Each structure stands twice: as structure tokens, then as C-alpha cells.
Amino acid sequence: MAGERLYDVCNTALAYLSSSSAEAVVNSWIDWLQIRIAAGHLPDDYMLGLVTSLLDAPTLTEEARCASIKRLLAVQSTGAVLVFIATLVARWDDLREDEHSMVTQLLASDREDGIWMKAAALTQNSVPEEIQKIILGSTDGFHVSATKLIEQLPPKLLTACIRMHRGAPQPLWYLGHHHDNSPTWYGVIRQLARMPSHPLFEDCLNEIFSFESRYGADELSQVIRYLDASSRENVFNLLLEWKTDVVGEWHQPEFDLLLELAPNDDSRNEMVRLMVEKSDMIIEFIEDINEWSHRLDVRKALEKSFQNDFMIRKIWNSLTSVNVRATTQVRTIFSELLTSTIEAFPPKLPSTHWDLKRYLEALGVKGDFLRRAAVMREKAITDFQKVCPSKLRVSPPAACFPAWIGPR
């Protein structure tokens, strides 16, 4: 069942149904969630959107609403209940006193997965004072510097909060309560990205790599300048590894800055070598080289690595600049030159082979030239897929989810 369709239909219906019918829909929805969870399926954020729907249902009685929230908070699924807690905290001003009590009692309890419930509450845009008091021990727990908050929070709770905010690893993104616009957590992540000895350093760097629009175009450059030489080397390696799994998002200024700040020529040359080594997993078009770096040493090294791709482009540009009448014989000579070149010096990039197909079609050739080009193109595509395998979803280790109950 499509979760978004279920949510839309039920949410719309609840606006018009009678009190008894609304209660029946909500109870059936909860029954269905429990069946799904018992079968080992984690519902998505739309399926878990019931809590929003029942808060907005105009005809649902106070007793029915309270009973429904109680049932939801008793569901045997960490993933489901943390969504309910996050939503209820975000809608705190819309809750009644008895509903507040249900949330605060759960957060104060010693339930096995309590760390995730607390993280769900603390990562909302605005955290009510009552909840701050329960979890942080004071009503102004967020009115401290990022450094102080990092020091004060228990390490496991800090880790859970960072993972909740980032939506990583899965299924935290899938559950839909990530990147709420809390300035507190953006500040904490910025600070942790400047603390190379902290266990969350790499997670927070990855966050800044991935969300430049959220943290600012200059944030990563500021982090790089702040860190010492050995930490910058680590940043370079992490950024390079991250780039192998990402299309676009070149971080050209940051790669060039890391190279500029390399402690010596040997270190810089090694960094360039590593970029070339990983380039088969990063470069898809020869134009990408300029997107990745504006440095001459990098460009030369990459052009050498993809020299056969550049050769085909140069040959085509040279042929099209020759002022000769394009007779059938001339077109045949040009086509043979291009096709023989890729057979003798195969380009790496499938995009270059597709360019060749267009070049041959522009010359108006048919038959053997196109067949020969297609053979080389298929081989290049196969080779490229071996270097860049599809990134299949891999379940994160259970260690990432201590005390997690139910499906994930």
C-alpha cells in the first residue's frame, strides 16, 4: 500500500466524518500499523502520519483522541514511536494537559529504547521547557554554547541526537524526522566538525559535505582552515571517498583549498595521485575535470588519465575545422579514422563513446562503422559498471541502533 495515498485519503476523510466514524478510522489505522509492525515491516512517515491526522481531526472526542495517543505510544516499535514523539513535541501547544503527561511520562521512563525517544524530542525546532527539564535537567538547557552542550550531554544521547538530526543511517531518513530547523543542532554539528578527536567528527563532516545549502557555501572551507595539517589530510581522504558515491556536488573550492594547504609538495603530489586513482569512479564526462578542480596540476594529471577520451574530442574538432568538401569518400576517411582510433586507443568514458556515435551519425555513415563503434561502446559501459557498481542499500550494523525495538 502506498503510504502517501493512505495518509491523504484518511486525513481528508477525518475532516468530514462523524465522531464515531472518525474514531473507527483511527482505531483501524492503529490496528493496521500494529499488524504491519508485528510482521516485521517498518511503516514509512506517511503511514505513521496518523498522529498528525488525529490531532487535526475536528470531530474526534477528547476521550477517543487521548486513548488513540496512548495506543500509539504503546506500539512495540522504536521507529514508529520516535515519529509519534517527534510529532507530539512539535505540536506541543496543540496538546492538552493529559496528553502532555503521556509524553513526559514516557520520556521520564526507563524504557529500553528511551535514548531514541529523548533524541526525537530534543531535535525538534522548539523543545518545550517541560521536556528540557526532564531530559537536560534544566529549562534552559539549550541556552549554552555548542561546545558546552557537547560536554554536558551523555555521549550516547549526543550520538542519537546527531543521527536523528542527520537522518543517518537508515531508517532514520526514511522515518522523515530529520533536519528540523533547530539552530542548536546545526551549531553542534559545525562544532563537532572542528573536533577531529571526537567520535562524531566524521559523521558531522559528512553532514557538511552533503548539505552545503544548509550550512553555507563557505562552511567546509572554514572547517578546513581551522584544522591542523594532519586533520586536513583526513578531511581530504574522507571528502574524496564521499565523492565516489555522489553525482555532482564537486566541492571544487574545497578540494583546491586542501591541495593549496598541503604541507609540502610530496603530500600534494600524493593527493593528486589519489584523485586520479579515484577518478574512474567520479568522472563521467571530460567536462567534469574542470568542475572538480581548477588547479593546473590536477587538470594535467586527469587529462593524462583520460587521454584517449580527449584524443577523440581533439580529432573530431580537427576534422570539423578542415575546410574540405564533405564528399562520401572524405566522410568515409573521417569515419575510419575515428573508429580505428577508439579500437586502438579505447576511451574510458561511456560518454565519449556516445559522442562518437553522434559524430558518426553527423558524418552520415551507416553499417560497419556504427557496428564497430557499438561493440567498443558496450565494452566501455561494462567496464565502467565494474568500476562504479550500483550502490545497493546496505543495512547499517546493529551497533548503530542500541536498544532499538522492532523492525528497522
Q: pLDDT digits over 160-194, tens only?
A: 999 999 999 999 999 999 998 888 999 999 999 99
Q: Tell me if 148 is assigned to some domain.
A: no
Q: Is residue 281 part of a domain?
A: yes
Q: Residue 381 pLDDT more than 70?
A: yes
Domain boundary among 286, 305, 324: 305
User: Tens of pLDDT along 3-30?
Assistant: 788 788 888 888 899 999 999 999 999 9
For residue 381, tell me if it sits in a domain. Answer: yes
- 290-302 confidence digits (pLDDT tens): 999 999 999 999 9
Q: Are residues 280 and 310 in the same domain?
A: no
Does residue 187 fall inside a structural domain? no
Residue 115 forms part of a structural domain: no
**What are 66-78's pLDDT values in tens digits?**
999 999 999 999 9
For residue 282, what are the contacts with CB-CB under 8 A and spacing of at least 6? Answer: 243, 244, 288, 292
Q: Of 252, 283, 305, which one is at a domain's C-terminal end?
A: 305
Flag whether 99 is in a domain: no
Q: Are residues 285 and 339 in the same domain?
A: no
Q: Which of 145, 149, 147, 146 is nearest to 132 (CA)?
A: 149
The verdict on 267 and 240 lying in the same domain is yes
Does 251 lie in the same domain as 234?
Answer: yes
Both 283 and 217 in a single domain?
Answer: yes
Q: How far apart are CA 61 and CA 42, in angstroms?
A: 29
Query: Do 277 and 319 reside in the same domain of the chain?
Result: no
Tens digits of per-residue pLDDT, 19-61? 999 999 999 999 999 999 999 999 988 889 989 999 999 999 9
In total, how many domains does the chain have?
Answer: 2
Same domain, 317 and 273: no
* Domain match, 282 and 241 both: yes
CB 171 within 8 A of CB 130: no
Same domain, 301 and 340: no
What average pLDDT does this structure show over 338-359? 92
Predicted TM-score (pTM) of this structure: 0.88
Domain encompassing residue 257: 207-305
Report the 10 Å Cβ neighbour count for 137: 9
Domain assignment present for residue 156? The answer is: no
Q: Determine the average pLDDT of the residues in 352-370.
A: 87
Q: Please give the Cα distance from 104 to 95 (Å, whole number).
A: 12
Query: 330 in a domain, yes or no?
Result: yes
